Structure 1
């Protein structure tokens, strides 16, 4: 063994538990924040949740909360980023579904529910310096667009949707359903109606 190797290994080993604890604490804090936001519904804005309560539910001290998420905005960004990641993972998993069109519209149900129920969180998370919202929204939108594109490509190749339908069209239509629906259930109903319009038998768009 080369001189000093053992010391370096010991130092690395000593750091591992700390990194594991930090990851575990961050996950507990995100879960607690997500739970509080869900419980508050429309009664409390996401940017008004009590940080002391987040730390208490996570079973950690306030110092640990601020070490992981120095500001309320940092915490909300992390919570919303997790929601986007979960939506995209759902899309990846559905690529294995034997019915491309069922997979696409199953994911669109998740998408419209996400938009209709997480909009306040997304807006609260991106309050801050000029350009922050644009930068974060662009990043999240690109991830969602990529997930949608994979599912749409499969449905198009299977002849289950109109060949000229683009991912931009699809997300615009689904977002419209999410933002104009009276609630998540109504948004999903609108999406089901959309399915007939984008199918291969739909009337071609004018122009």
Structure 2
């Protein structure tokens, strides 16, 4: 009977220890990936990331499955910040300014976080969580601007995010150029206010 009472305890502790070890490996992989992506961009070698983290490639793939999931983990805080700003901007009395500010934030984060633009472009092809969250956040701002008739009805949030990513990729590490290009693009999507 005492075996029945005490038997499961070592197994549970073993699982907890394995879970803690797995979480440490995952956290270490994300931290190392952030460094390597910062150096080499989003196409950094997964094998190099695993080697620097002190784990095998199989461990990296077991935790993330591939490049997109790893990049999403690396850039999760940036994505969180961009989505949070979209929510805050819903209170801005000027819907076009709110949308414009948010798009500038998207471009600034993508340009400032080497590899983020590429990650977002790839995420769009894969229907990832990060891409879905950005679409949802931006769509609310776009819908509001369209209801106020300051952005044409045929403008799609998917197109705006692709435009923001393209600007980030074209600008490299130059945030000023990225901001200028986005301003030019926004002039093209917003109807004139002089009417």
Alignment match, 1:112 = 107
Structure 1's 79 and 104: CA in aligned 2 closer, same or farther, altered over 3 A? farther
Give the C-alpha shift of residue 151 in structure 1: 3.1
Question: Gaps (5+ residues) in structure 2?
Answer: none
Residue from 83, 97, 120 that aligns with 1:92: 83
TM-score computed with the length of structure 2 as normaliser: 0.65
Q: Which runs of 5+ in 1 are unaligned?
A: 56-60, 124-132
Q: Tell me the equivalent position of 1:194.
A: 185
Matches of 2:19 and 2:67 in 1, distance apart? 22
Provide the aligned C-alpha RMSD in A. 4.1
1:46 corresponding residue in structure 2: 44
What do the CA deviations read for 1:59-108 (whole angstroms, capped 9, x no partner)? xx33xx4453148x946333312256444422431202332555533432
The 5 Å alignment of 1:143-158 reads 143-157=133-147
Whole-angstrom distance in 1 between the partners of 2:186 and 2:124: 30
1:121/1:172 Cα in 2 relative to 1: closer, same or farther (>3 Å)?
closer
Partner-residue secondary structure (3-state), 2:88: coil
Question: What residue number does 1:126 align with?
Answer: none
Q: Relative to 1, partners in 2 of residues 1:70 and 1:82: Cα closer, same or farther, differing over 3 Å?
A: closer
> What is the TM-score of this pair, normalised by structure 1?
0.62
Select 2:73's aligned residue among 72, 75, 82.
Answer: 82
Do residues 166 (structure 1) and 161 (structure 2) align? no
Cα deviation for residue 38 of structure 1 reads 0.8
Give the number of aligned pairs.
Answer: 182
